[in-house]
Structure 1
């Protein structure tokens, strides 16, 4: 192992830069050369690759996004494009590859590993939807972004006596909604994993209004349904004015939290340790605050279960 590459793929997540920094500096510390592959797998196909040094990753630990940029590549998926990627890795003399991203990025890393390339996957996605790890890079920052937004909305909602529906990311995983809803004191949380009742939500809103409550916050994961339809139904059934705020890509931006920076630093460094041990096709994660690694195929198959105890707690605290 003499030269390793690092890339970020799929949706960006706060903390990716901290992971890149950790990969590069650990590799250099251990005598390896490092190259950065820009724009994910698409950049790999195009040979958009440059050597990185200590200065390349200076002053980036606090920055959101990714200095290597990211992209989705349809060309990489087909056999011709994939073979081109293998050729580029050979031309540049890249012995090992660190891939930072979500499940789609991991599938690409898995395929490269099966073709003989030493690959290590680092979970970088705000959705926290990879079942093999307790937390993914970017998740903590995303929920803090939503919690700050909830605080701002509560101020204006109280002034007008409104309810606010806040749509957050999470097409198949409700973790952002659940964690931010609990931390932000939301009245109701609607997630794809658990069936919800509009009657129960409306009853809670009416009960709150009758005891003098001036505002209500409802968190909705994007995979549940259209938030404007939910708002219209609440308006019809309760006569409470209900507005919709869609967080969208605001959740992906911003300065990463300390927790995300620490997680990214730990996982980035461990990826180099694994490559130097001759490991390939492994995914790194965090379980009970301990770094773990497992076969990337097993990581992709791991079931992501919602924390039902936490969900029940939100219902108790929002009576």
Structure 2
């Protein structure tokens, strides 16, 4: 797999590709949220560093080094990752897998490459690695990944070339979903892509669960029925839905905001493409017209959701937050 086969992250791939055609630095830091593809890109970069004939597009894919990497048996490549269920990588593992190994010359490639999950390094682990980063052997390249640079010591940051991975476009995420799961319905892939905020790994995880599709339909029907729902039903049956989905509350608020965003688009252009399909879009347009909903009123609904999200983040009383939100939304959605 060359860089061109990886979806998105063109700027990061370009910078790493330039390093492959010259003399690479000794330490790189890939920064981005969980699921953005840091380790995938890091492994492809490592493959290029250990390749006999790399180009700006990455490894050649056909030399012995590439075959070893594809098989997961390259003797000059090691990964230090956070073990599942652990909070931090043990300092002993840093010493045994990295520090005691860097002084040994490479076996088949010109250099040795280490991919390190820096999110798993506590301060003690970072300090253990620091001296090697300060005075690295010439034949060693480190690739660190981290979700947030603030997790790392300034001395670590100063000795690495930082490359930030940016959110992918909605179409890039959709392409990744359909490439991995070709049986996914296009409209579902579009929903996963939009909800993922540009993080391919998160979108792929969503494909493995039914909750998003189910809650998407639930909140859409709720919003479209809002003008007709009684206060009693809101505070009993509708509240029960939010109570049952308490663990996904902020996700549900995001879904509701997406529905209102679509309503705002339909309010200005009823011929626009809708994630819900034509039948649901027609119902949405009918509700908008019947209840005289315009962009301003729909914007107030999104503001109500934002207020609820902030209150929930501040650990406010869940029942009060939900009931106030539902009553406020009811007021804004009423025919007026």
Larger proportion of helix: 2
Point out the structure with max Rg over C-alpha. 2
Which TM-score applies when normalising by structure 2? 0.35
Larger proportion of strand: 1
Which TM-score applies when normalising by structure 1? 0.36
Greater relative CO (CA pairs within 8 A, separation 6+): 1
